[in-house]
């Protein structure tokens, strides 16, 4: 029996309080996205596996949740097909659909499928769950929400500026201090060129990505073990030591990347972005971090990463520019840039910092105590009137003991209780109790509305 009560591991139920808090985050993010003119789309939870497979690497293919074909999925499959050796091929025969793994690949598919209906540049946001058959652990779930915002069909750096503004506005409205770190894959390519390791670009970025967690010595050790020469590694060292302000970093790079046109181009892009950010009034909380790498290989320009200042936790938001996302679906040469907010981590940060607003409460503002049939009928139109004024109100469904009804209001944190008996029905003045203070007052309906709205 116990099994029936549980949900699949790595998934979660959200109770009313969690929902209120999650929606506080989603609404804040949505409001900011919309204030910049982004519009929302939604794509189905299921995509054809032909759309999803091969887009996330071998590991990603393995982590896709696959949906068994309806009806007799064994039709056309011979016994010889069914062996452990042949598992991947068999899987594709009995499962044609999978749950989406992220919002980026479905978005690319959406653009290609609907390209004739879309006006470019297309500024879209998307807030939906994704599913990954990852090993569940603290803070890692098999179903979680992503909040993506992308602009596609424009290579203007103003888009990057706007995304940094969006990050700034979102966390300002969540009252949470963050640092946004920016880098550019072209700067990284320049560094690879300068240390003579252009052909080992991926190894370099994979190692650099860990600088934050493991430190310089470890990064250098990893590179050496991967066959980077002592000369290359020592040439890399100064790049890992640049910790000054933007202007100083820029002049360091101007000097050290001068042999790499790609690197200098990347630097130029960063200078434009920082120049425009200044014009937009954003001077703090953004820095150039030339060791920021981020794993995803499809990034080609600016990369973004956002960390909380007051809590030790992974990145709250990240993204980058990609020059050929839709190429895999037959529409090459469309540049885009986007970032993704991790609602679950943001939730954990706000919870740790106690930043959820107190008054952001679910449920009724007022409970009408039920003293019986006559009182119930008297209260029905009153409750309707309150609702029309924007006040959520409910009548206790039974003429239960007063103590029970008051406990209900207390348990549900309903802030006001109306006690309407014979006297109140006669006078038209309602006895209203404020639960927090215990204070009781007699108010007309209109006074009540003014008081508790």
- Comparing CB distances to its own copies, the nearer of 113 and 447 is 113
CA distance 78 to 66: 21
Q: Any contact of residue 45 with its own copies (CB under 8 A)? A: yes
Q: Is 24 or 239 the residue whose CB approaches its own copies more closely?
A: 24
Q: Which residue's CB is nearer to its own copies, number 62 or number 226?
A: 62
Distance CA 301, CA 318 (A): 13
* CB nearer its own copies, residue 41 or residue 353: 41
Closer CB to its own copies, 172 or 353, in the complex: 172
Residues in region 13-42 near its own copies by CB under 8 A: 13-16, 19-20, 23, 34-37, 39-42
Residue 267 beta carbon to its own copies: minimum distance, rounded to whole angstroms: 18
Binding-site member from 24, 56, 110, 371 for its own copies (CB under 8 A): 110
Cis peptide before 121 (omega within 30 of 0): yes
Collapsing DSSP to helix, strand or coil, 393 comes out as strand
- Which residue, among 99, 107, 94, 110, has the nearest Cα to 63 in the 3D structure? 99
Tell me the number of residues near its own copies by CB under 8 A: 109
Interface residue with its own copies among 25, 28, 29, 99 (CB under 8 A) is 99
Cβ 287 to its own copies, closest distance in Å?
Answer: 20
| Residues 273/302, Cβ–Cβ less than 8 Å | yes
The first and second tokens of residue 130, run together, are 């994704």
Which residues in 120-159 contact its own copies (CB under 8 A)?
121, 123-124, 129, 131, 133, 142-143, 151, 154, 156, 158-159
Within 226-285, which residues bind its own copies (CB under 8 A)?
A: 275-276, 279-281
Among 27, 68, 215, 258, binds its own copies (CB under 8 A): 68
**CA 363 to CA 206: how far, in whole Å?**
48
Q: Are 142 and 131 in contact (CB under 8 A)?
A: yes
String of DSSP letters for 238-299: HHHT--S-HHHHHHHHHHHTTT-HHHHHHHHHHHHHHHHHHHTT--SSEEE-TT---S-TTE
User: Taking CB under 8 A as the criterion, which residues in 358-397 touch its own copies?
Assistant: 362-364, 367, 370, 376-378, 380-381, 384, 387, 390-395, 397
Q: Which of residues 297-336 bind its own copies (CB under 8 A)?
A: 329-330
Task: Give the whole-angstrom CA distance, residue 152 versus residue 155.
Answer: 8
Within 407-426, the residues that bind its own copies by CB under 8 A are 408, 411-412, 414
């Amino acid at each position: 029996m116990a099994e029936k009560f549980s949900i699949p591991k790595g998934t979660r139920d959200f109770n009313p309080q969690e929902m209120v808090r999650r929606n506080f985050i989603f609404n804040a993010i949505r409001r900011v996205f919309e204030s910049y003119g982004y519009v929302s789309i939604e794509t189905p939870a299921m995509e054809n596996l032909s759309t999803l497979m091969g887009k996330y690497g071998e590991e990603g293919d393995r982590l896709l949740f696959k949906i068994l074909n309806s009806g007799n999925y064994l039709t056309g499959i011979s016994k010889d097909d069914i062996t452990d050796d042949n598992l991947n091929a068999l899987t594709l025969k009995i499962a044609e659909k999978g749950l989406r793994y992220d919002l980026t690949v479905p978005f690319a598919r959406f653009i290609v499928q609907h390209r004739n209906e879309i006006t470019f540049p297309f500024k879209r946001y998307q807030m939906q769950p994704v599913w990954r058959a990852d090993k569940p652990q603290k803070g890692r779930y098999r179903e979680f929400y992503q909040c993506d915002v992308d602009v596609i069909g424009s290579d203007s750096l103003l888009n990057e500026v706007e995304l940094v503004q969006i990050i700034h506005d979102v966390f300002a409205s969540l009252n949470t201090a963050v640092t946004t770190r920016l880098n550019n894959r072209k700067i990284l390519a320049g560094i690879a060129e300068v240390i003579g390791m252009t052909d080992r670009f991926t190894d370099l970025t994979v190692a650099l990505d860990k600088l934050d967690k493991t430190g310089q010595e470890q990064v250098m050790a990893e590179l050496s073990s991967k066959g980077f020469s002592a000369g290359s590694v020592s040439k890399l060292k100064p790049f890992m030591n640049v910790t000054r302000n933007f202007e100083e970093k820029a002049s360091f790079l101007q000097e050290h990347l001068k042999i790499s046109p790609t690197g200098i181009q990347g630097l130029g892009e960063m200078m434009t972005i920082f120049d425009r950010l200044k014009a937009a009034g954003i001077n703090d909380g953004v820095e150039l971090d030339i060791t920021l790498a981020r794993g995803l290989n499809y990034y080609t320009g600016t990369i973004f990463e956002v960390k909380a200042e007051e809590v030790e936790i992974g990145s709250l938001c990240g993204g980058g520019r990609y020059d050929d996302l839709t190429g895999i679906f037959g529409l090459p040469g469309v540049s885009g840039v986007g970032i993704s907010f991790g609602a679950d981590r943001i939730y954990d940060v706000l919870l740790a910092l106690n930043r959820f607003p107190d008054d952001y409460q679910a449920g009724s503002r007022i409970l009408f105590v039920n003293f019986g049939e006559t009182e119930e009928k008297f209260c029905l139109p009153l409750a309707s009137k309150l609702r029309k004024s924007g006040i959520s109100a409910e009548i206790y469904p039974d003429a239960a003991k007063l103590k029970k009804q008051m406990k209900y209001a207390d348990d549900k944190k309903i802030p006001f209780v109306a006690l309407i008996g014979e006297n109140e029905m006669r006078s038209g003045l309602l006895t209203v109790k404020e639960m927090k203070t215990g204070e009781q007052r007699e108010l007309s309906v209109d006074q009540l509305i003014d008081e508790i709205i």
